[in-house]
Chains A and B, each alone.
Chain A
Amino acid sequence: MCTECGCGHGHGGADVKIGGTSHDHEHGHAHPHEHGHDHSHEHGASRELSLNLSLMEKNDRLAERNRGYFQAKKLLVLNVVSSPGSGKTTLLRETAARLAGKLRVGVIVGDLATDNDAARLRTAGVPVIQITTGTVCHLDAEMVARAAEQLDTDNLDLLIIENVGNLVCPADYDLGETLRVVMLSTTEGEDKPLKYPPMFHSAQVVIVTKGDMAAAAGFDRKQALANLNKISHHATLFEVSAKTGEGMKEWVEFLAQRHSVVARK
C-alpha cells in the first residue's frame, strides 16, 4: 500500500510456536482445574498457540494473486468506492462511453441486491459482471477473481470495479487493483474525508463529483480541498460533473495515460 508514509498493513510472520505447557493457567481465568490434579481429567491439556497472523492475510494473498494476473494481462484496474449514491455508476457509465474506441473497458459491479447498476452500465456498450453480495458490505479479492473469470480479460485494457456503496468496510479489502479511486460528491459535505480517514487515506485518486450541484448544496470547495489535502495526501484529484461533462476530459485522459504505463511494463 502506501510506501511514502509507511501506513500499509504490518504483517506478522506465521511463526506458530507452542507457548506454555499443559495446565498453564498464568492468564488466570476461572477454570475447573484450579484445584489439584489427583483425579481423571474430563478434558485434555490446555495450550496457548502464538499465531501473530493478520486476519486480512488470506484476502491480501488473493489480492496479490489478482494483481499479478492483471499485470500479466496489461490491465489497468480501478477499485471505485464512495458513500451510497455519490454517483459511481453515473460517472463510470460516462467514463466507459467516452473511452469507446480508445480503451476496451470491462466493469465488475458489486451491490447488496438488484442488478440495476449493471443494466445502467451496459448502456455504455461494455461487458458488465454483477456481483450481488447479499449482506456483505464490501467486495473481497476472491469475489473479484471469480467475476474476472467471466470477462474476456485478454481483450480488455481497463477493468473498472464499482465497489459496494460504503466508505468503511471496503477500506480494508485490497482487490488487487492498480488504483483505488475514492469519490466524494458535492452534496454530501466537505468533512467526509475527516469522518472516513482510512478510506480517504488509501486513495490514489480522489474524484469530487456532482460539480454542477456544488452551488445549490452550499459546498465549501476550499474547505473540502483542504481536508482532502490533509488525509488523501498521496492522491491525484479530479473535479467533475458526470451530468454536464465538466472535468471528464481530464479524467479520461488520465486513464489513457495510466493505461499506457501499465501496458509498457
Chain B
Amino acid sequence: MHEVSIMAEAVRMATEAARKSGAVRVTCLKLRVGTLSGAVPDAMRFAWDVVCQGTEAEGARLEIEPVTAACRCEACRTEFDCADFINECPRCGTPGARLLRGRELDIASIETQDH
C-alpha cells in the first residue's frame, strides 16, 4: 500500500501548486498512471479519499488516466504492448525491446478555484 504515500505526495504537490498560483482550493486532480508503475489505480482512489481530508484538496475529483505499457523492437521497429518486463518482440522474437511508456506516475494537471 505505498499508494498512501504516493497520494499524500500528490496532495502536497497539488496544494502547493494551487497556492503558488493564488488559488485556494483544488477541485480536481488528474493523474497519469502507467501499467508498469507499480501503483494500483483502485488503491490510489481509496487512499485519495483518506489523504485529501483536511487539506485544500478535500473532496476534489480524482481522474486517473491509465497508460498501457508499450515497447518498440529495435530490430524490426514493431511497437507492442508489454504486460510485464518480458520485452520480447512478438513479430521477430528479438529480446530487450525499449520501453516507450508505462512507468508513468505523474500528476498531469489540477483544477483550482480562486476563493
Question: Is the CB–CB distance between A198 and B38 below 8 Å?
Answer: yes
The answer to whether A150 has its CB under 8 Å from any CB of chain B is no
Question: Is the CB–CB distance between B21 and A56 below 8 Å?
Answer: no
Do A4 and B96 contact each other (CB < 8 Å), given the known contacts A49-B18, A49-B21?
Answer: yes
- Which one of A29, A44, A55 lies within 8 Å of B106 (CB-CB)? A55
The answer to whether B45 has its CB under 8 Å from any CB of chain A is no
The answer to whether A172 has its CB under 8 Å from any CB of chain B is yes
Question: Is the CB–CB distance between B110 and A48 below 8 Å?
Answer: yes
Interface stretch (choices A77-85, A133-141, A211-219): A133-141
- Which one of A49, A140, A199 lies within 8 Å of B110 (CB-CB)? A49
- Which one of A18, A43, A56, A197 lies within 8 Å of B113 (CB-CB)? A43
Question: Is the CB–CB distance between A46 and B27 below 8 Å?
Answer: yes
Q: What string of 1s and 0s marks CB contacts (under 8 Å) between B1-18 and chain A?
A: 110111001100110011
Question: Is the CB–CB distance between B61 and A16 below 8 Å?
Answer: no
The answer to whether B42 has its CB under 8 Å from any CB of chain A is no
The answer to whether A168 has its CB under 8 Å from any CB of chain B is yes
Do A44 and B38 contact each other (CB < 8 Å), given the known contacts A6-B99, A8-B103, A198-B85?
Answer: no
Q: What string of 1s and 0s marks CB contacts (under 8 Å) between A40-62 and chain B?
A: 00011111111111111111000
C-alpha spacing A168/B37, complex, angstroms: 10
Task: Name B's interface SS.
Answer: mixed
Q: Which residues of B contact A169 (CB under 8 A)?
A: 1-2, 5, 38
Question: Is the CB–CB distance between B98 and A6 below 8 Å?
Answer: yes
Q: Which residues of B contact A249 (CB under 8 A)?
A: none
Do A58 and B9 contact each other (CB < 8 Å), given the known contacts A46-B27, A194-B84?
Answer: yes
The answer to whether B23 has its CB under 8 Å from any CB of chain A is yes
Do A172 and B38 contact each other (CB < 8 Å), given the known contacts A5-B99, A58-B9, A231-B84?
Answer: yes
Q: Which residues of B contact A4 (CB under 8 A)?
A: 96
**In whole Å, how far is A213's beta carbon from the nearest beta carbon of chain B?**
27
**In whole Å, how far is B5's beta carbon from the nearest beta carbon of chain A?**
6
Centre residue among A51, A52, A171 by max chain B CB count within 10 A: A51
The answer to whether A201 has its CB under 8 Å from any CB of chain B is yes
Do A46 and B113 contact each other (CB < 8 Å), given the known contacts A53-B106, A54-B106, A172-B105?
Answer: yes
Question: Is the CB–CB distance between A138 and B2 below 8 Å?
Answer: yes
Question: Is the CB–CB distance between A197 and B108 below 8 Å?
Answer: no
C-alpha spacing A47/B104, complex, angstroms: 24
**In whole Å, how far is B100's beta carbon from the nearest beta carbon of chain A?**
8
Question: Is the CB–CB distance between B5 and A47 below 8 Å?
Answer: no
Question: Is the CB–CB distance between A233 and B95 below 8 Å?
Answer: yes
Question: Is the CB–CB distance between A53 and B13 below 8 Å?
Answer: yes
- Give A9's nearest chain B residue, CB to CB: B103
Q: Which residues of B contact A198 (CB under 8 A)?
A: 36-38, 85
Question: Is the CB–CB distance between A52 and B106 below 8 Å?
Answer: yes
Do A16 and B84 contact each other (CB < 8 Å), given the known contacts A51-B13, A54-B106?
Answer: no
Name B's A-contacting residues (CB within 8 A): 1-2, 4-6, 9-10, 13-14, 17-18, 20-21, 23-25, 27-28, 31, 36-39, 61, 84-88, 95-99, 101, 103-115
Contacts A56-B9, A138-B5 aside, 12 further interface pairs with beta carbons under 8 A come to A16-B21, A29-B28, A43-B25, A46-B27, A46-B114, A47-B23, A49-B17, A49-B23, A51-B109, A52-B106, A194-B84, A199-B38
